[in-house]
Amino acid sequence: MWLEILLASVLGFVIYWFVSKGKEETLPLEDGWWGPGVRPTAEEDKSIRPFKVETSDEEINDLHQRIDRVRLTSPLEDSRFHYGFNSNYLKKIISYWRNEFDWRKQVEILNKYPHFKTKIEGLDIHFIHVKPTNLPSGQTPKPLLMVHGWPGSFYEFYKIIPLLTDPKNHGLSDEHVFEVICPSIPGYGFSEASSKKGFNSVATARIFYKLMLRLGFQKFYIQGGDWGALICTNMAQLVPSHIKGLHLNMALILRNFYTMTLPLGRRFGGLFGYTERDMELIYPFKKIFFSLLRESGYMHIQSTKPDTVGCALNDSPVGLAAYILEKFSTWTNSEFRDLEDGGLERKFSLDDLLTGIMLYWTTGTITSSQRFYKENLGQVNKHETLKVYVPTGFAAFPCELIHFPEKWVKSKYPKLISYSYMPRGGHFAAFEEPELLAQDIRKFVGLQERQ
């Protein structure tokens, strides 16, 4: 009897494997309501409203008063950035922020692109929408949705947008001209935070899909890194027929055969499809492993009890700056932890960095942004095991927190048509290396359009 049951089980599994092998499974689209209270019976207002970033004397004075009352702890001798943000260098940032940083000027810069808000699933969704100004005759712009991550914002895309919407005036071919939409993830910056538990990347993907439909786009390209990579991946899993192409500069590939090959890869890398460049970026594995441990402490806090640390960060602008800017140091290049200033000004200006901080500070959204970790990590998610069947391009930046070889990426994204080893750059690709990222997006779109 038991033999018959075993044989029947094996036969059933084999039949299921053959039947499902070629099936391109998608996520159910479903629906949601994330606003406060009970969902209204009336139809949701679908209007798109212009929005403008504003500030006030009260906002700036409050910031300055809090900065003036800062209390710092002296760093250990020769600790550099090994214990976190070095408070000696933090004093320089505080002084610049208090005495030289011009928030009103930065607000004007933020407003140079058109901002909008619209209500979707009970939440006010903020986005910028930039159309090309010098479109060649007879050409239609390609809609491109670009999604940020944590601790980033839509502002990370300000330097790459002109390369995509006005390429000819920036030394690039006008063969591919884009119309760029950059939303803020709900709970980040100017997008309203969910009032309900469970708001995760799939819900965000569905909302951004509805946003694109509301803007009149039935088919479009999507691009992301960090949480943006997962949100865009989920969009491709939800509505693959609406996605012309998916471009990523990071991937979250957790449940995969190839990740289990890491301990053996250094000796048998060729058997697993690793190139010489892959080997350089992955090994010695012990070094990469301990680097990931050092850089992932925040993740455990934010995926378990985000509100606790959020209380402190939302009350102290200096604490918020130290917490966030540390990521812009070591996530840009892990070796920057050996520097007294964390290498921050090697890649970014203080004006740009502090503008990013101000988008969290003035909106009071650090806590809601951190909750995104708790809603996405620590539970089994169906999307983790689903493959993505849309044309995909991947830019592998060498200083990303972890390198994803082409074999890894293709196992999750079988329609990978473009994989690039980027010459330099880290986690915040659009912010740090806008020209390189723009070139790779254009390369991917060119390949896709010719198929």
- Per-residue pLDDT of 301-314, as tens digits, reads 999 999 999 999 99
In a domain, 255, yes or no: yes
Residue 66, in any domain of the structure? yes
Q: What is the mean pLDDT of residues 374-400?
A: 94
175 is a domain residue: yes
pLDDT of residue 256: 67
> Does residue 25 form part of some domain?
no
Residue 286's pLDDT is 80
Whole-model pTM: value is: 0.94
Strand partners, 143: 179
How many domains would you assign to the chain?
1
Phi then psi for residue 76, to 5 deg, are: -70, 155
pLDDT of residue 168: 94
Catalytic residues: 226, 373, 427
Q: How confident is the model at residue 14 (pLDDT cuts 50, 70, 90)?
A: very low
Say which residues have a Cβ less than 8 Å from residue 353's Cβ, sequence separation at least 6: 325, 328, 344
> Which burial class, exposed, middle or buried, applies to 211 when counting CB atoms under 10 A from its CB (0-12, 13-18, 19+)?
buried
Within-domain flag for 47: no
Distance CA 266, CA 416 (A): 25
| CA distance linking residue 435 with residue 424, whole number of Å | 11
> Taking Cα atoms as reference points, which of 23, 447, 19, 32 lies closest to residue 246?
447
> Taking residues 90-98, what's their average pLDDT?
98
Supply the CATH number for residue 263's domain: 3.40.50.1820
Which residue intervals of 239-389 are DSSP H helices? 262-268, 276-282, 285-295, 297-302, 306-315, 317-330, 344-347, 350-361, 366-376
> Residue 226: is its pLDDT beyond 60?
yes
Q: Is the bond leading into 50 cis (omega within 30 degrees of zero)? A: no
* Angle of CA points 261, 228, 130, to nearest 5°: 145
Q: Is residue 366 pLDDT above 90, yes or no?
A: yes
Asked if residue 269 has pLDDT above 60, the reply is yes
Provide the pLDDT confidence category of residue 255 given band limits of 50, 70 and 90. Answer: low
Q: Is position 21 within any domain? A: no
The residue ranking higher by pLDDT, 264 or 25, is 25
328 in any annotated domain: yes
Residue type, 89: Y
Q: What is the mean pLDDT of residues 173-189?
A: 97
Would you say residue 9 has pLDDT above 80? no
User: Does residue 26 form part of some domain?
Assistant: no
- Domain of 232 in residue numbering reads as 55-450
2 has pLDDT over 80: no
* Band (8; pLDDT cuts 50, 70, 90): very low
CA distance 225 to 272: 25
